[in-house]
């Protein structure tokens, strides 16, 4: 289980860029095809841009053709939380960071083996930590 990072709205606004704040705290979405992690294949770990919580290993990333970086599985079962999302006239499963509750994207049951899942994430909601570099959680 991850220790929660709880901050006020003002604290989040100070820590995050306007784009990060919109996606992570207001459940926004970056435009398809605009994310910095589309097409990247660098080894390492993707972490939450809000708190540094490790989310995905680069080896689970794949090109889904959707316009957003996609992964077949999370780093661990405790990395994210999944919440039923009925916004925009659809029923989807929202994916949030388990540590700071930041909105990351959605998961769909149409991914490749071995999981059959497609974690469709916003690039702006994540940072990439190169293989061999230390993973550091952001402190309150």
- Domain extents for the chain? 9-130
- The reply to whether 100 belongs to the active site is no
Residue 13 has pLDDT above 70, yes or no: yes
- E runs forming strands in the chain: 44-48, 54-57, 61-62, 70-71, 80-85, 92-97, 103-108, 118-121, 126-130
Pairing mode of beta strands 70-71, 80-85:
unpaired
Q: What is the pLDDT of residues 109-133, one digit of tens each?
A: 999 999 999 999 999 999 999 999 9
pLDDT class of 140 with cuts at 50, 70, 90: confident
Catalytic: which of 48, 51, 97, 120? 120
Residue 1 has pLDDT above 70, yes or no: no
CATH of domain 9-130: 2.170.150.20
């Amino acid at each position: 289980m991850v220790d929660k990072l709880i901050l006020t709205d003002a604290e989040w606004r100070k820590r995050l860029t306007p784009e990060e704040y919109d996606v992570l705290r207001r459940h926004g979405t970056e435009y398809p095809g605009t994310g910095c992690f589309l097409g990247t294949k660098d080894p390492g770990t993707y972490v939450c841009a809000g708190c540094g919580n490790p989310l995905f290993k680069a080896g689970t990333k794949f090109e889904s053709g959707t316009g957003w970086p996609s992964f077949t599985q999370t780093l661990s079962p405790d990395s994210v939380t999944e919440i039923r999302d009925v916004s925009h006239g659809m029923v989807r499963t929202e994916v949030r960071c388990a540590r700071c509750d930041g909105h990351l994207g959605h998961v769909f049951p149409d991914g490749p083996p071995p999981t059959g899942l497609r974690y469709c994430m916003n690039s702006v909601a994540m940072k990439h930590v190169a293989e061999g570099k230390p993973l550091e959680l952001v402190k309150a």
